[in-house]
Amino acid sequence: MKHIAFYIRDIHFNKKSGLLKFTYGDIKKTLFFQNGNLIFAKTNEPEEKLGAVLFKLGKISKDTYTQIDQLIKQGMKLGETLVKGGYISEKDLYDGWIHQMKVITLNIFSYYEGEFIFEEMEGLVDKQFESKISVPLLIKDGLKQMRYDPSLKQFIEKKIPYPKGKLYFYLLSEEENKILALIDGKSSAEDILRSTDYNPELFWKSLYLFYSLDLIDIRDKEEEKREEIEERAEEKIEQVEESPEQAEEKVKQAEERAEQAERIPSAKEREKLAEVEVLNEKLPGLNYYQILNVSQSASEDDIKKAYFISARKYHPDSFERNLPQETMKKVEGLFAQITKAYQTLIDKEKRKDYASKIELPKAEEGDKDQAKRSNIKFRQAKTLYNQRRYEDALILLEEAIRLNRNKGSFYLLLALTESKIPSLHQKAEENFIKAVELEPWNPECYLGLGLFYKQEGLPARAKKQFKKALELDPDHNIARKELDIIPKGKKKRGLKELFSIDLFGQKKKKK
């Protein structure tokens, strides 16, 4: 199987260290792994170079980007040059570096041809330089965005998939979890597909995702028969040798395994665990204020409130008890950081000492600077959205909202962007609702939510939102047209019209 997920699976889950080299025509990339984790990436693609990524993210200005070749000093790397020259902060460099590794890696997922060579070696870098990128999350994102290819079917169809681990089940959608539940370790992949009405492309991509996340393994039918014969022979020997107590214990363990295998996690639980995965990845670049999602000038009450909100959501006791041990460690680690941030910021002396050790702007200047930076990132994201570069827009919008969480227009554009990415539809609904909460006077927020519900096949909910938009603006042409065509069963219009029509004051409707 000549695909990057096949190689990353082996490297990550077997905790290998070394270089994975990818070549396709003139394209050359190298991914550096240590103990199964991605720690560095190199590319010869100009748009994936660090300078280009930093510019795309809005971390450096256009003038700085055009002068990069002149700025680099002999014996110094680009990042070091930019930081020492005051062009960028260490945090922005870290964010850019992480994003660059993701971009370089994710762009390889679209190739089903090319040459992969893994050179195993030890001691690539010191541990302090390791990134906190979640490789399973990277695999999931890469497979979700890639096109289907017949090689996926050829790789799996004649083999028998069987359940393996449960560590990353929460990265799956509800539909994917249902497909995973069909795998019994006895039926071949093609037999499973015949017994369902799933779209074949969805089915083969889903099985490849399960395999890449180490949720299943696959074996040939002949190998399965041989192992079954060997297992039966071993069972007969054990039955002769084992005591009644041992036999009873074995039955109990088998029942427990069966009970766990049948459990399909709820959508809410999967969402929480995915958030834990993402937050753990971002933690190294966040300060205590950002971890608790409060401003530098937050009062004691604000800090307490923020902590209790996070504690209710991420306390280990709020998760299912039968989670895999490694997953629970991530939950516990995240909650420990949240608690540490709270204990530091709630104590006046500790907070003062902490503020002196990290780079924080003065409150008044910082607030103005944050507002300015958030607006710049929002405008950049809006441009990327219009160019249909949704993934890039998403990154800038998340940063804009981190800097300013009180703008309904920010959440509206974020929701529109997420609605373009199938795996983020649930988040899109939440952010449409957030936009409405922040700007209940803005008919565009209700229109956006209405169009989203219509897109999701929920006409009754859509009608309700269009009516609210018309209550605020009786002359709103788009809301009126959408409300009129719902009962008539006309062809749906998508969300593409919303951004260009009367959104953020871009075009005025006719009176």
How many CB atoms within 10 Å of residue 223? 12
Res 244: pLDDT? 66
CB 440 within 8 A of CB 449: no
**Residue 140: inside a domain, yes or no?**
no
Number of structural domains found in the chain: 4
CATH number for 345: 1.10.287.110
Last residue of a domain, one of 360, 388, 423: 360
pLDDT classification of 206: cutoffs 50, 70, 90 = very high
Q: Which residues contact 217 (CB under 8 A, 6 or more apart)?
A: 161, 162, 164, 211
Identify whether residues 345 and 375 lie together within a single domain: no
* Domain limits for position 389: 364-500
Identify whether residues 355 and 373 lie together within a single domain: no
Please give the single-letter amino acid code of residue 279: L
> How far apart are the C-alpha atoms of 409 and 270, rounded to whole Å?
28
Last residue of a domain, one of 226, 241, 256: 241
> How far apart are the C-alpha atoms of 40 and 131, rounded to whole Å?
8
**Residue 139: inside a domain, yes or no?**
no
Please give the single-letter amino acid code of residue 364: E
Res 243: pLDDT? 61
- Alpha-carbon Rg for the chain, nearest whole angstrom, is 26
Of the listed ranges 9-23, 365-379, 381-395, the least confidently predicted one is 365-379
**Residue 249: inside a domain, yes or no?**
no
Q: What percent of the chain has pLDDT over 90?
A: 25
CB 88 within 8 A of CB 74: no
DSSP string across 132-198 = ---HHHHHHHHHHHSPP-HHHHHHHTTSEEEE---TTGGGS-HHHHHHHHT--SSS-HHHHHHTS--
User: Two tokens at 159?
Assistant: 């083999």
CATH number for 454: 1.25.40.10
Closest CA to 371 of 398, 405, 409, 414: 405
Res 367: pLDDT? 55
User: Two tokens at 75?
Assistant: 């014996």
Identify whether residues 174 and 285 lie together within a single domain: no
Last residue of a domain, one of 327, 360, 393: 360
**Average pLDDT over every residue of 84-109:** 89
Dihedral sign of CA atoms 33, 37, 40, 46 in order: positive
**Residue 278: inside a domain, yes or no?**
yes
CA atoms within 13 A on the CB side of 347: 10
| pLDDT greater than 90 at residue 413 | yes
Identify whether residues 347 and 372 lie together within a single domain: no
User: Two tokens at 358?
Assistant: 């990290």
**Residue 510: inside a domain, yes or no?**
no
Task: Give the start-end residues of each E strand in 269-314.
Answer: none
Q: What percent of the chain has pLDDT over 70?
A: 80
How many CB atoms within 10 Å of residue 310? 21
pLDDT classification of 41: cutoffs 50, 70, 90 = very high
Q: Which residues contact 369 (CB under 8 A, 6 or more apart)?
A: 361
Averaged confidence pLDDT in the chain: 81
**Residue 261: inside a domain, yes or no?**
no
> How far apart are the C-alpha atoms of 174 and 425, rounded to whole Å?
13
pLDDT winner (highest mean) among 52-56, 78-82, 352-356: 52-56
**Burial degree of 321 (CB within 10 A; 0-12, 13-18, 19+):** exposed
Identify whether residues 368 and 457 lie together within a single domain: yes
| pLDDT greater than 80 at residue 271 | no
Closest CA to 33 of 48, 12, 50, 49: 12
